[in-house]
Structure 1
Amino acid sequence: MGALQDRVAIISGAGTGLGRAASISFASAGADVVLLGRRKAKLEETALAVKERTGKEALILQTDVSDEAQVQEAIAAAIRHFNRIDVIVNNAAVFEPGTVLELTSNEWQNQIAINLTGPFLLTKAVLPAMRKAKYGRIINITSGLSWNGAGGYAAYSAAKAGLESLTRTLADEEHEHGILVNLYNPGTLRTEMHATGKDPAIVTPDLIRLASLPIGGPTGTIVSYG
């Protein structure tokens, strides 16, 4: 049996990159996977890859994670389909350049909405089901830019710093309910957002370990690849 046998895992940003790699790896480890993303065609490509590699049928839910109504409907649909949610990987992100002086208010708000508000909305939506089950594993994808910043990436860096603080807060609030909340920094990956870096599949074993932590396992921590 795989490390995630009979678990249900939601993965945001599942259409490409780390989200796609995680979806395949989680299904290979025995999980039923729910794919969230804005581009249905990309989600369908991921679902096909999951089916070809594992024989499992992934649930596709086209969702803008920054839209609260869409998030709530997606989580409700996932619960109707599988009757539970055990794991969520908050991976959806936009990585767009812009200095503080250059960024428009709308550009700033868009990156905060997807990179920080999105994980907040998804987590808020899954918490009632996780609390009821007295079990949950939440993994938030972060970046080294959260603590050292980077000239030209003001909104992304600020959003990831906020996500790290949110993660530690959630860990404190939810541990008594059997819910573990951790951060994962994969380093530079070769994805649509970045032309060079590691193959995302290389880091997915770390995600599986965080997704399958035992009761009383670490929470509020940050794990980095390598």
Structure 2
Amino acid sequence: MGDVQTKVAIVTGAGTGLGKAAAIALAKEGANVVAIGRRLPKITETVQEIGYFGGSAIAVRADVSVESDVRHAVETALAGYHRVDILVNNAAVLDIANIFDTEPDEWRRQIDVNLTGPFLMTKAALPIMRRQKYGRIVNITSSLAANGAGGYGAYSAAKAGLESLTRTVADEESNYNILANLFDPGMIKSEMHGTGKDPATVAAEIVRLASLPVYGFSGEKIIYS
């Protein structure tokens, strides 16, 4: 396994839950972190916590479903740290409703954040990673991608699309020493879910995937147990 010392890691949805835990875990291992989220006070808290133990991080308010926000976030990362080595696509939204009751705008919002967001972030980061001949992309998925469940139609569809996108990126970018993997952490205690695993106990697996050497997995789905 490699390490993340001095690497630059962008983490989306870094204001709460697993994203916050991942940002802190990466910083503790020596990465420079760019914490992205829609709520500036939340991502600022994450950056402040990283600063308490001497880590380096910057906060960027951005909606990952908005192309101009994504460009700004990646440009800020590049201006601040001159590289982008790691991308953790964690930002997600969830509205529970049967398909019968799901309004088109609710469907679009979940697809936009949970699938289009990772696409936009990946597309923005890839030119930098290609130039570096190095990149590690970790996309957070769910068992619902394969199994679905009543009330989770839009979320499940988005995660299924994310899994296909990840495997496509892994195949297309392997010659540039860019790895893309899926991570299914299971149920995580967060604002989205009131019960589940402690995010801090799961974040170490994201650090591991973010530091895989060239001969590591790519396009694989890693399930945390």
TM-score normalized by the length of structure 2 = 0.98
Tell me the equivalent position of 2:220. Answer: 221
Please show how residues 154-169 of structure 1 align to structure 2 within 5 Å: 154-169=153-168
Tell me the equivalent position of 2:188. Answer: 189
Offset, 1:77: 1.2
Q: Distance in 2 between matches of 1:120 and 1:63?
A: 15
Tell me the equivalent position of 1:99. Answer: 98
Tell me the equivalent position of 2:129. Answer: 130
Tell me the equivalent position of 1:55. Answer: 54
Q: Distance in 2 between matches of 1:45 and 1:73?
A: 20
Q: Distance in 2 between matches of 1:180 and 1:213?
A: 8
What value does the CA root-mean-square deviation take over the aligned residues? 0.9
Please show how residues 135-146 of structure 1 align to structure 2 within 5 Å: 135-146=134-145
Deviations 1:182-206 (A, max 9, x none): 0000000100000001100011111
Whether 2:110 is the aligned partner of 1:111: answer yes
Taking every aligned residue pair, what percent have the same amino acid on both sides? 54
Q: Distance in 1 between matches of 2:198 and 2:49?
A: 16
Q: Distance in 1 between matches of 2:101 and 2:207?
A: 39
Q: Distance in 1 between matches of 2:3 and 2:71?
A: 28
Deviations 1:149-200 (A, max 9, x none): 0101110000000000000011110001110000000000100000001100
Q: Does the 8 Å contact 2:9/2:34 carry over to 1? A: yes
Q: Does the 8 Å contact 2:31/2:56 carry over to 1? A: no
Count of residues in Structure 1 that have an aligned counterpart in Structure 2: 224
Offset, 1:73: 1.2
Q: Does the 8 Å contact 2:27/2:56 carry over to 1? A: no
Q: Which amino acid aligns with 1:168?
A: R
Q: Distance in 2 between matches of 1:61 and 1:42?
A: 11
Tell me the equivalent position of 2:70. Answer: 71
Find the residue that maps to 2:183 and give its secondary structure: strand
Tell me the equivalent position of 1:46. Answer: 46
Tell me the equivalent position of 1:180. Answer: 179
Find the residue that maps to 1:58 and give its secondary structure: strand
Tell me the equivalent position of 1:3. Answer: 3
Offset, 1:39: 0.1
Q: Distance in 2 between matches of 1:112 and 1:221?
A: 22
Find the residue that maps to 2:34 and give its secondary structure: strand
Find the residue that maps to 1:184 and give its secondary structure: strand
Q: Distance in 2 between matches of 1:14 and 1:106?
A: 25
Q: Distance in 2 between matches of 1:209 and 1:44?
A: 25
Q: Distance in 1 between matches of 2:46 and 2:12?
A: 12
Deviations 1:107-148 (A, max 9, x none): 000000000000000000000000000000000000000000
Runs of 4+ more than 4 Å apart: none
Q: Which amino acid aligns with 1:51?
A: G
Gaps of 5+ in 2: none
Whether 2:32 is the aligned partner of 1:29: answer no
Q: Distance in 2 between matches of 1:178 and 1:66?
A: 27
Q: Distance in 2 between matches of 1:78 and 1:186?
A: 26
Q: Does the 8 Å contact 1:88/1:138 carry over to 2? A: yes
Tell me the equivalent position of 2:15. Answer: 15
Q: Distance in 2 between matches of 1:3 and 1:174?
A: 21
Gaps of 5+ in 1: none
